């Protein structure tokens, strides 16, 4: 079984971070929260799930914040999520199965990234993104806005 570090960058996410972490905290081995300047209860809520909360001075560059988050990871693989992401029950089962069976030669796993839903919650736009990556490969984020995780292998 591989180990997984969850890495998230957040700011003023008190309305969503608890819902996100509740769907993933039992599936990962470490949670790293990188706070970029919250002035709400974001960190207080995150402390219910982890003590690995770090402050990062916002420099108007998402890649720098995400790369800092990846530097805090200590496990075999890094999973990145945004505070408004939620793993549905079936996706939680899939992630646990993946964790139990992932061949350690795998460098990256792509997952659906939902861009938009309609008023009924139906997905109207999605794409695949590298969501789980091998930490020792040192993959880095590129781009200040609309950042991209540069993955090879």
What percent of the chain lies above the pLDDT cut of 70? 100
Higher-confidence residue: 115 or 120?
Answer: 120
Mean predicted confidence (pLDDT) in 87-104: 95
Question: Could you give the C-alpha distances from 38 to 53, 58, 68, in angstroms and in order?
Answer: 12, 10, 17
What percent of the chain lies above the pLDDT cut of 90? 85
Rounded distance, CA 43 to CA 2, Å? 28
Higher-confidence residue: 122 or 70?
Answer: 70
pLDDT at 102 over 80: yes
Contact 108, 77 (CB under 8 A): no
Mean predicted confidence (pLDDT) in 93-119: 93
pLDDT at 107 over 90: yes
pLDDT at 71 over 80: yes
- What's residue 4's pLDDT? 98
- What's residue 115's pLDDT? 83
Q: Where are the domains of the chain?
A: 4-150
Strand order in the sheet with 108-117: 53-55, 30-35, 4-10, 77-80, 123-134, 108-117
- What's residue 126's pLDDT? 86
Q: Which fold is adopted by the domain 4-150?
A: Spore Coat Polysaccharide Biosynthesis Protein SpsA; Chain A (3.90.550)
pTM: 0.93
Rounded distance, CA 78 to CA 75, Å? 7
pLDDT at 132 over 80: yes
- Res. 69 pLDDT band, cuts 50 70 90: very high
């Amino acid at each position: 079984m591989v180990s997984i570090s969850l890495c998230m960058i957040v700011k003023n996410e008190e309305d969503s971070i608890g819902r996100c972490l509740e769907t993933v905290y039992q599936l990962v081995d470490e949670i790293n929260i990188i706070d970029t300047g919250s002035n709400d209860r974001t960190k207080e809520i995150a402390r219910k799930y982890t003590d690995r909360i770090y402050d990062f001075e916002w420099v108007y560059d998402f890649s720098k914040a995400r790369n800092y988050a990846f530097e805090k990871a200590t496990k075999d693989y890094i999973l990145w999520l945004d505070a408004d992401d939620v793993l549905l029950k079936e996706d939680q089962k899939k992630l646990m199965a993946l964790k139990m069976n992932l061949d350690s030669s795998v460098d990256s796993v792509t997952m659906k990234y939902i861009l938009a839903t309609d008023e009924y919650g139906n997905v109207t736009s999605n794409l695949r993104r590298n969501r789980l990556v091998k930490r020792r490969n040192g993959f880095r984020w590129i781009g200040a806005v609309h950042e991209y995780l540069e993955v090879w292998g």
